[in-house]
Amino acid sequence: MNLDYLWNGFTVALTMQNLLIGLVGCFIGTLVGALPAIGPINGIALLLPIAYTMGLPAESTMILLAAVYCGAEYGGRISSILLNVPGDAGAVMTALDGNPMARQGRAGEALMLSGLSSFVGGVFGAVGLALFAPLLAGLAIGFGPAEYFVLMVFAFATLGSMVGSQPVKTLIGCTLGLMLATVGLDATSGAYRFTFNEPELGDGIEFVVLVIGLFSVSEALLILEHQASGVTVIRELGRMTARLDDIRKSIGATLRGSVIGFIVGVLPGTGASVSSAVSYTTEKRISDTEGTFGKGDVRGLTAPEAANNATACGAFVPMLTLGVPGSGTTAVMLGALMLYNIQPGPMLITERPEVVGGLVASLFIGNVLLLLLNLPLVNIFARVLTVPNWLLVPGILVLSIVGVYSTHASVFSILLMLGIGVIGWMLRKAGFDMAPIILGFVLGHVMEVNLRNALAISGGDISILFQSKISIILWILAGAMAVMPLLVGWRKAKRMKTATS
Partner 1 sequence: MSDTPSSSSLVGRIGGLLMLALAIAYGIGGSQIEYAFASDPLGPRVVPVLLAIILAALCLLYLKSPGSTEAFPKGQLLVKIAAVPLLLFTSALLLEPAGFAVSIFLLTLGVGWIFGAPLRLAVVGAVGQAALWWFVFSYLLDVYLPAGRLFG
Applying CB under 8 A, does 65 fall inside the site for partner 1?
no
Write the DSSP assignment of 193-236 as a string of letters: ES-TT-GGGTT-S-HHHHHIIIIIIHHHHHHHHHTTS-------
Indicate which single residue of 380, 411, 472, 483 sits in contact with partner 1 (rule: CB under 8 A). 411
* DSSP assignment of 290-339: SS-TTSS-HHHHHHHHHHHHHHHHHTHHHHHHHS--SSHHHHHHHHHHHH
Q: Which is nearer to partner 1, 309 or 413 (CB)?
A: 413
Show the binding pattern over residues 222-241: x = contacts partner 1 (CB under 8 A), - = does not.
Answer: --xxxx-x------------
Total of residues contacting partner 1 (CB under 8 A): 64
| Region class of 40: left (phi > 0), else alpha (psi between -120 and 50), else beta | alpha
Note whether 304 and 280 are within 8 A (CB): yes
Q: For residue 150, give the H/E element and its range.
A: helix 145-162
Q: Is 190 in the site for partner 1 (CB under 8 A)?
A: yes
Instruction: Select from 292, 453, 467, 468 the one that contacts partner 1 (CB under 8 A).
Output: 453
Q: Does 386 bind partner 1 (CB under 8 A)?
A: no
Q: Does 24 bind partner 1 (CB under 8 A)?
A: no
CB of 146 to partner 1, least distance (A): 13
The verdict on 483 binding partner 1 (CB under 8 A) reads no
Q: Under a CB-based contact definition with an 8 Å cutoff, are residues 72 and 332 in contact?
A: no
**Does residue 357 bind partner 1 (CB under 8 A)?**
no
The residue (of 338 and 397) whose beta carbon lies closer to partner 1 is: 397
If one asks whether residue 393 binds partner 1 (CB under 8 A), the answer comes out as yes
- Span of 63-71, 346-354, 378-386, 425-433 interacting with partner 1 by CB under 8 A: 425-433
Which of 239, 383, 429, 492: binder of partner 1 (CB under 8 A)?
Answer: 429
Q: Which are the contacts of 248, defined by CB distance < 8 A and separation ≥ 6?
A: none
Whole-angstrom Cα distance, residue 159 to residue 439?
A: 9
Q: For residues 8 and 406, which CB has a smaller minimum distance to partner 1 in the complex?
A: 406
Residue 118 sits at φ, ψ, to 5 deg, of: -60, -40
Instruction: Report if residue 430 touches partner 1, rule: CB under 8 A.
Output: yes
Please select the residue that binds partner 1; options are 103, 452, 484, 485, rule is CB under 8 A. Answer: 452
Q: Which of residues 31-50 bind partner 1 (CB under 8 A)?
A: 50
Residues whose CB is less than 8 angstroms from the CB of residue 139 and which lie 6 or more positions away in sequence, other chains included: 346
- Is residue 25 a contact partner of residue 17, using CB atoms and an 8 Å limit? no
When asked if residue 168 is in the footprint of partner 1 (CB under 8 A), the reply is yes
